[in-house]
Structure 1
Amino acid sequence: MEREKVNNKMSESFILAILLAMVGGFLDAYTYCCRDKVFANAQTGNIVRVGITLANGEYMKTFRYFIPIIAFSLGVLITMYIRDNNNTHLHWRQVILLFEAIIIIIVSLMPIQTYLNIVSNIMISFLCAMQAESFKKVLGKPFSSTMCTGNLRRGTEYLYNVLKNNDIRVFKNVKYYFLIIISFILGAVLGRISSNYFFEKAILLTLIPLFYSIFIMINSSKKIKNSVEYNGK
Structure 2
Amino acid sequence: MKECGEKESVFLTCERNWVYFALIGVAGFWGAYTYLLRGNVFCNAQTGNVVLMGLALGAGQWRAALYYLVPISAYILGAFVSELAPNPIKHRFRVRWDTVLMLLEMLTVLCLGFVPLSAPEQIAQVVINFVASMQYNTFRQAQGIPVATTFATNHIRQIGIGLAKEIRHRHSSDKSHREKLTRHAQMLFFFAAGATAGSLCCHLWAEKGIWVTLVPLGVIFGALLYADLTTERALVEQKPAGH
Q: Same fold (TM over 0.5)?
A: yes
2:129 aligned residue (112, 115, 125): 125
Does the Cα contact within 8 Å between 1:13 and 1:139 map onto a contact in 2?
yes
Alpha-carbon distance in structure 1 between the residues aligned to 2:10 and 2:178? 27
Q: Which residue is equivalent to 1:106?
A: 111
Equivalent residues in 2 for 1:141-220, closer than 5 Å: 141-166=145-170, 167-220=174-227
Q: Which residue identity does 2:157 align to in structure 1?
A: R
Q: Which residue is equivalent to 1:35?
A: 38
Does the Cα contact within 8 Å between 2:11 and 2:143 map onto a contact in 1?
no
Does the Cα contact within 8 Å between 2:145 and 2:180 map onto a contact in 1?
no
Does the Cα contact within 8 Å between 1:71 and 1:126 map onto a contact in 2?
yes
Deviation of the 1:7 alpha carbon: 8.9
Deviation of the 1:90 alpha carbon: 1.9
Does the Cα contact within 8 Å between 1:30 and 1:192 map onto a contact in 2?
yes
Does the Cα contact within 8 Å between 1:36 and 1:114 map onto a contact in 2?
no
Structure having the higher helix fraction is 1
Change (3 A) 1:7 1:196: farther
Q: Does 1:139 align with 2:143?
A: yes
Q: Secondary structure of the equivalent of 2:93?
A: coil
Deviation of the 1:161 alpha carbon: 1.6
CA displacement 1:5-56 (0-9 Å, x = unmatched): x796322211011000101100000000111111111100000011110111
Query: How many corresponding residue pairs?
Result: 221
Q: Which residue identity does 2:207 align to in structure 1?
A: E
Deviation of the 1:114 alpha carbon: 5.5
Q: Which residue identity does 1:198 align to in structure 2?
A: W
Q: Does 1:97 align with 2:105?
A: no
- TM (norm. structure 1) is 0.89
List 4+ stretches of structure 1 deviating above 4 A. none
After superposition, the CA RMSD in angstroms is: 1.9
- TM (norm. structure 2) is 0.85
Deviation of the 1:225 alpha carbon: 4.6
CA displacement 1:70-90 (0-9 Å, x = unmatched): 001101111112113112132
Alpha-carbon distance in structure 2 between the residues aligned to 1:153 and 1:105? 34
Q: Which residue is equivalent to 2:51?
A: 48
Q: Secondary structure of the equivalent of 1:126?
A: helix
Give the gaps of 5 or more residues in structure 2: 1-8, 235-243
Alpha-carbon distance in structure 1 between the residues aligned to 2:98 and 2:208? 25
Alpha-carbon distance in structure 2 between the residues aligned to 1:205 and 1:89? 29
Q: Give me the identity figure in percent.
A: 25
Deviation of the 1:118 alpha carbon: 0.9
